[in-house]
Amino acid sequence: MLSNKTRPAIAFIGFGEAAQAFVEGWSSELAGSVTAYDIKSDREDTETQIRAAYAAAGVRGCMTSTECVAHAEVVFSMVTADQALAAGQSVAENFPKNSFYFDCNSCAPDTKKSVAKIINNAGGRYVDVAVMAPVFPARHKTPVLVSGPAAEAALDMMERLDMSARHAPGGIGTASSIKMVRSVMIKGLEALVAECVLAGRRAGVEDIVLETLEKTYPGFGWKDRSAYMLERMMVHGLRRAAEMHEVALTVKQLGLNNGMSLATANWQQAVGDLHLEPGDKDYAIRADAILAALADTSDPEE
């Protein structure tokens, strides 16, 4: 339940799965106090879809990002990683003084610092936020880390919003560093599973491969995990690819070889570009769908 204190006016820049999950978690408790803007409303092929999402969530959809944040006390930025800087720039001119800007995007620390400079110069209070788990089933209570000068005040606001937030001591970029480094493993494992399962399926040996992996790493549940990871890439591959380019930038700026992160981005992009529905929960059926789509998009001269 939300705090009994006055409910803050909330704005979402970007209204995808994460934003919709947060609003769903708050349910009717914030009715009438949430606005949203998503660039999908600017495109003919996606306008109907996003406006239906606004209506289903009970939020007021706005025509521009500046309209969306005009009266907000808290702004959640939840766009794809490659749009995080543009999102910050789009609201800076008329950003409400002293309002929070919760940058929940999966970006490199330097990207977050660039957005922070824009928001703070506009009179806002920028907070580096890292979403540390899938937004379902926890929704608005999904664990998040916050860092930066406004983090302590942000924790108070997040408590009012019944969120599960924890302070990551340090400046802007600390929370995002944790998320970026973690994504090397989380998104990288998805890419490794995809390459392993798809190759095994094409060779006709994936069942035995997964059985031997289960013996090597007992309890992991390789078949179910494989189905889940393929679904994540099919549904969110494009967003994950954008994030992994930010991860690669982070690793490079730390003076390390970022080849694994770039390869992960390539696999996420390749599967996401297929725009497939995950369908059945069986890993083999999902793998076959991906393989068939990849075959259809391959160069006939190759």
Whether the per-residue pLDDT at 123 is higher than 50: the answer is yes
Residues in the chain: 302
Which pLDDT value is given to residue 48?
Answer: 97
In a domain, 228, yes or no: yes
In a domain, 3, yes or no: no
Average pLDDT value for residue range 163-167: 98
The reply to whether 163 and 180 lie within a common domain is no
The reply to whether 226 and 131 lie within a common domain is no
List the beta bridge partners of residue 128: 103, 147
Whether the per-residue pLDDT at 302 is higher than 60: the answer is no
Which pLDDT value is given to residue 29?
Answer: 72
> Alpha-carbon distance 58 to 40, whole Å?
18
Q: Is 291 exposed, middle or buried (0-12, 13-18, 19+ CB in 10 A)?
A: middle
pLDDT above 90 coverage of the chain, percent: 93
The reply to whether 249 and 221 lie within a common domain is yes
The residue out of 118, 137, 171 marking a domain boundary is 171
In a domain, 79, yes or no: yes
The residue out of 151, 171, 191 marking a domain boundary is 171
Q: What is the CATH number of the domain that holds 62?
A: 3.40.50.720
The reply to whether 91 and 156 lie within a common domain is yes
- Alpha-carbon Rg for the chain, nearest whole angstrom, is 20
Question: What are 263-281's pLDDT values in tens digits?
Answer: 999 999 999 999 999 999 9
In a domain, 50, yes or no: yes
The reply to whether 76 and 155 lie within a common domain is yes
- Pairing mode, if any, of strands 100-103 and 74-77? parallel
> Alpha-carbon distance 163 to 23, whole Å?
12
User: For 151-172, b where at least 16 C-beta lie within 10 A, e where not — what string?
Assistant: beebbebbebbebebeebeeeb
Question: What are 215-268's pLDDT values in tens digits?
Answer: 999 999 999 999 999 999 999 999 999 999 999 999 999 999 999 999 999 999
For the four alpha carbons of 227, 131, 65 and 115, in that order, the dihedral sign comes to: negative
Q: What is the CATH number of the domain that holds 199?
A: 1.10.1040.10
Predicted TM-score (pTM) of this structure: 0.92
Q: Which domain holds residue 62?
A: 10-171
Which pLDDT value is given to residue 103?
Answer: 98
Is residue 266 a contact partner of residue 195, using CB atoms and an 8 Å limit? no
The reply to whether 112 and 143 lie within a common domain is yes
The reply to whether 198 and 223 lie within a common domain is yes
- Pairing mode, if any, of strands 34-37 and 100-103? unpaired
> Alpha-carbon distance 252 to 250, whole Å?
5
Is residue 26 a contact partner of residue 2, using CB atoms and an 8 Å limit? yes
The reply to whether 244 and 278 lie within a common domain is yes
In a domain, 262, yes or no: yes
Phi-psi domain of 170 (left: phi exceeds 0; alpha: psi -120 through 50; beta: other): left
Determine the straight-line distance between the first and last CA of the chain, rounded to whole angstroms.
Answer: 58
The reply to whether 148 and 179 lie within a common domain is no
Q: Return the number of other C-beta atoms located less than 10 Å from residue 253's C-beta.
A: 13
Q: Is 98 exposed, middle or buried (0-12, 13-18, 19+ CB in 10 A)?
A: exposed
In a domain, 286, yes or no: yes
Question: What are 19-37's pLDDT values in tens digits?
Answer: 999 999 998 677 678 999 9
> Alpha-carbon distance 133 to 135, whole Å?
6
The token duo for 237 is 């591959």
The reply to whether 89 and 194 lie within a common domain is no
In a domain, 5, yes or no: no
Which pLDDT value is given to residue 28?
Answer: 66
Indicate the number of domains in the chain: 2
The reply to whether 86 and 204 lie within a common domain is no
> Alpha-carbon distance 211 to 297, whole Å?
31
In a domain, 37, yes or no: yes
Which pLDDT value is given to residue 1?
Answer: 58
**Cα–Cα distance list, 12 to 4, 188, 273 (Å):** 22, 29, 26
The residue out of 144, 171, 198 marking a domain boundary is 171
